[in-house]
Structure 1
Amino acid sequence: MVSRIMHTSVDSRNAHDQSVWWGRVLGFSEDPQDPNLPGHEECMIFSPDGRTRVLFIEVPEGKTVKNRLHFDLYPQDVTRDEEVERLLGMGATMHQDLRKDDGGGWATLLDPEGNEFCVLRSVSERPDPYAHLVRD
């Protein structure tokens, strides 16, 4: 027997704003039958195929330490560096730039509420076609 992940939950100060921001980052959308509205304490976004879900839940306390869980993203249609620039333009902040001169490495960014996430190389930038299954 096994369990499956139903969705990933993210504590937030503003669930609606976080769902909108991350929806733009990931290309996810809300359920049109249950739209996310300002003031909602829980806002879910779904991948285009509906299989991956992220739920933003408003909590009273702010973020105080490093995340114990975070997203590792890899761009689909652009390079890692182009994606980093897009995300910075959307309001992300550079936390640690761990990109290497040889093209390896990643960038750790902060979302608008200070949650860490990483941007890895795109599949087309990796020498091994299965390298997208592991971090570089």
Structure 2
Amino acid sequence: MTALISHTTFDSIDAYAQSVFWGQVLGFHQDPDDPNLPGEQECMIFSPDGAQRLLFIEVPNAKQLKNRVHLDLKPDSGTRDEELVRLLALGAREVEDLRSPDGTGWVVLADPEGNEFCILRSDAEREYWRCS
């Protein structure tokens, strides 16, 4: 017997705002039959195929320490650096730049509530550097 992940939950000060931000980052959507609304204490978003779900739950206190778990993201098209520009425009904040001159590395970002996540190179970029 094994356990299956139902969804990943994020504690949030503003569950709705977080669901909107992460929906834009990941291309996830809300349930049209149960839409997320401002002021709701729980807001869920779904991957396009419905296989992955993120739930944002309002809690009374802000994040205070470094995440013990975080998401590592990679662009589905384009480059890491192009995706970085897009994520910053959506409201992410750069925490630490760990890119190397040889093309390896990643950038640590924070969402609007301070939860860290990383942006890695795309599959195409890794393949290019592997073959160079």
TM-score past 0.5 threshold: yes
> Structure 2 matches for 1:1-136, cutoff 5 A?
1-127=1-127
Code of the residue aligned with 1:5 in structure 2: it is: I
Q: C-alpha root-mean-square deviation of aligned residues, in Å?
A: 1.2
Q: So what's the TM-score if we normalise by structure 2?
A: 0.95
Whole-angstrom distance in 1 between the partners of 2:22 and 2:127: 29
For residue 97 of structure 1, what is the amino acid of its counterpart?
Answer: D
Question: How far is the alpha carbon of 1:119 from its aligned partner?
Answer: 0.2
Shift of 1:89: 1.1
The normalised TM-score by structure 1 is: 0.92
- What secondary structure, in the 3-state scheme, does the structure 2 residue paired with 1:43 have? strand
Q: What residue ranges of structure 1 are gaps of 5+ in the alignment?
A: 132-136
What do residues 84-128 of structure 1 show as CA deviations (whole Å, max 9, x unaligned)?
Answer: 011111111110100111110000001001100000000000138
Percent identical among aligned pairs is: 61
Aligned partners of 1:100, 1:4: CA distance in 2, in Å? 36
Distance 1:62 1:74 in 2: 27
2:106 aligned counterpart, secondary structure: strand
CA distance in structure 1 between the partners assigned to 2:37 and 2:69 by the alignment:
26
Q: Which letter does structure 2 place at the counterpart of 1:21? A: F
**Cα shift readout 1:67-86 (whole Å, capped 9, x = no counterpart):** 11111000001100000011
Give SS of 1:103's match. coil
What is the SS of the residue equivalent to 1:65? coil
Cα distance in 2 for residues equivalent to 1:90 and 1:32: 23
SS of 1:21's partner is helix
Aligned amino acid, residue 85 of structure 1? V
| Structure 2 gap ranges (5+) | none
What number of residue pairs does the alignment pair up? Answer: 129
